Structure 1
């Protein structure tokens, strides 16, 4: 067991420590590694229209050059999942699955120093690209570590699988979730799965485990429409604005606990507004502003009708609930304070996922800590 743990952890450290991987394991020049990474980054896999076809061809080509087994799975049309395998010497042992996702969030090119899918490099060697951290870097680190280990003649005891899944940035239902529920996944005999964490600017790497439950909430407000010049109670915007202030105060109270050091970020309920939708769209909204020398300057712009108070407004929130929180109390808070029906508000909560509380006595953490300590002492 000790040898197995040490071998596994040596491999994991190769994957997550660029300095160790490049200096001691990867038998390839850095320019080639960076070039492959940039090629992957230049594939526009941004939601809502990711170019999965091109990313799949790229991953399969890398797999072939390394000498891995490969297959493409589709649990939903147009959303390929690429599964690579490196057979171990003892295939009866539980396998290791290294997971990453191919899709990335959308980008606003005009706000970038370089085009988001150019993978441009500045004078300091920094690469600018959407997905460079979340999480194409991890997927390529897996492959480059395996490439280097195979070049050194290393053969793992356990079979190692590498999955490149679609759909993660929009919930993962047609990618990782469907895969985890499939007969194919059950047949892999997976013992440990590694996914993503945070990038590190140093040689220190933090270990993460999923613990907080994500709640995605949408609050919708309704009210009487009216002319923009009128003042009256109970408009949709007013009803929603009151809720936003209540939620802001709750968020501040939770954040204060983190700022003061009384609680860690993973121990509080985090609430962040992620979208706001209201107004009456118009392609010829007339607007005006006071000119520098006096007088009104008029111009026509695309946007919203400026003299109409809308009858509906909505806002979306990403809520993360730690296992030590009372979910029923939070649900009551939402219904009674954040979105009370008395103010013509309704709400929906999506993505309710229960995560068990974990601590230092967890068997998986315990084995990881012991194995890491043993491995580090041999260097």
Structure 2
């Protein structure tokens, strides 16, 4: 009997043990499930937060450098300029809101109305500050600049790229000093000085405009803004925009009145494929070789015009091979290869004739070549620089009054003004960057304090001259 009771007791103990073990296992599983749910939910929230951050276009570069004191701390215009420079409105993922808030403050200080437009989305504002003219029914003058700047490589800078430090030579170092936050602030500084001189208003209304996205093509800025009802309501008849530094040792300043046409073309060469040991005809490589040779011969002639005949950059066609793709194995002749060319076509070139020339090369190469237009711009319009354009006469006389020598030129790169000119609105590109080494898009971009202040005086003559036409 005792033995049976003992056996029964052991069985009961084992049963309770098993039940306890099962309970512990179930509890452990429940804990794991809860942890999994929490982890999954927090992960989703983190992904959502990251997604929101992307859509909000937060800046990649955050300015943490303190403002370095200088002997110019009591100069109002230098302080305003430095404040603008310290806003890191830098690609990619530009956050323009600090620029907008800063410009609201500037408009308020000038007692001028400000309007914010969003022609593409709420991440890319266009800011318009308006100085109403005494005859507002007349078409208006537009002073344009862009808020965005190109990326920086901090390790190559001798000063913080968004610190706006002033060195012992009175040079201000920051991204945007030359391209083109200086011009944007000089417009306002000139107007402030005119107001203090008692100039209540000029004959024509002046719109001071700050656009986004210029450095990457303007598709989220000027491209759409110029099509908008808001732009049409400004009733613009002439636009002044950015230029560059002096073009020679004599200090002659360029005035850009036209731009070359941009074509970026991808050539896809189709042809005979096979074993790499064979000499097959009409292979993609053969076709690529002939087209490349034709382009390089054309490029060599344009280089001769530039380097031997001293043509200005804007009057030659530049061609550069920028991408090559093709092939899968070392011993297989590919059935397809591609090459991309960046082409900037001189203003006096017939685009139809140029297109026929390229197509002729493809035919000569054996055909079966697809030309994909990645960017095939239209013929860019040219703003007249003679007496037929009253704004040219006004601009020329005002710069001469400032002692500046100017020379009309075709811009070697590209700007938002090509979109303006396409609507038959005359436009010039000019920056009063005298005695300055070109550092646009380069490390250690800078402007000298006196160059900046003298530029204000230059615009103080240019703006009334244009607005009183």
Quick check: TM above 0.5? Answer: yes
Cα RMSD between the aligned structures? 3.9
- Matched residue, 1:363: 389
- Matched residue, 1:134: 179
SS in 2 for 1:209: strand
Distance in 2, Cα, partners of 1:341 & 1:54:
56
- Matched residue, 2:300: 252
TM-score (normalizing by structure 2): 0.58
- Matched residue, 2:375: 350
> What is the CA distance between 1:254 and its match in structure 2?
1.1
- Matched residue, 2:236: 190
Distance in 2, Cα, partners of 1:166 & 1:361:
34
Contact 1:272 1:319 in 2 (8 A): no
Contact 2:131 2:207 in 1 (8 A): yes
Distance in 1, Cα, partners of 2:194 & 2:274:
68
- Report the number of matched residues: 325
Q: Deviations over 1:54-81 (max 9, x none)?
A: 2222222222222221011001111110
Distance in 1, Cα, partners of 2:156 & 2:269:
32
Contact 2:260 2:344 in 1 (8 A): no
Distance in 2, Cα, partners of 1:161 & 1:67:
14
Tell me, yes or no, if structure 1 residue 154 matches structure 2 residue 199: yes
Q: Deviations over 1:232-263 (max 9, x none)?
A: 88887886576555433322311211223363
Q: Greater strand share, 1 or 2?
A: 1
Structure whose CA Rg is larger:
2
Tell me, yes or no, if structure 1 residue 69 matches structure 2 residue 94: no
- Matched residue, 2:33: none
SS in 1 for 2:185: helix
1:38-49 alignment, distance < 5 Å: 38-49=82-93
Tell me, yes or no, if structure 1 residue 53 matches structure 2 residue 77: no
Tell me, yes or no, if structure 1 residue 180 matches structure 2 residue 226: yes
- Matched residue, 1:118: 163
Contact 1:72 1:83 in 2 (8 A): yes
SS in 2 for 1:210: strand
SS in 2 for 1:106: coil
Contact 2:261 2:380 in 1 (8 A): yes
Contact 1:271 1:317 in 2 (8 A): yes
Q: Deviations over 1:242-287 (max 9, x none)?
A: 65554333223112112233633332222345x436589xxxxxxx
> What is the CA distance between 1:163 and its match in structure 2?
0.5
> What is the CA distance between 1:132 and its match in structure 2?
2.2
Relative distance call for 1:152 and 1:106 in structure 2 (3 A) is same
Distance in 2, Cα, partners of 1:113 & 1:231:
57
SS in 2 for 1:174: coil
Structure 1: any 5+ residue segments left out of the alignment? Answer: 1-27, 281-304
Relative distance call for 1:189 and 1:232 in structure 2 (3 A) is same
Relative distance call for 1:96 and 1:251 in structure 2 (3 A) is same
Relative distance call for 1:86 and 1:247 in structure 2 (3 A) is same
- Matched residue, 1:337: 361
Contact 1:71 1:84 in 2 (8 A): yes
Distance in 2, Cα, partners of 1:132 & 1:159:
27
Q: Deviations over 1:137-159 (max 9, x none)?
A: 11111111112222222223222
Tell me, yes or no, if structure 1 residue 103 matches structure 2 residue 161: no
- Matched residue, 1:22: none
> What is the CA distance between 1:53 and its match in structure 2?
1.7
Q: Deviations over 1:212-246 (max 9, x none)?
A: 3233334455789999x999888878865765554
Distance in 2, Cα, partners of 1:222 & 1:123:
61
TM-score (normalizing by structure 1): 0.70
Relative distance call for 1:321 and 1:94 in structure 2 (3 A) is same
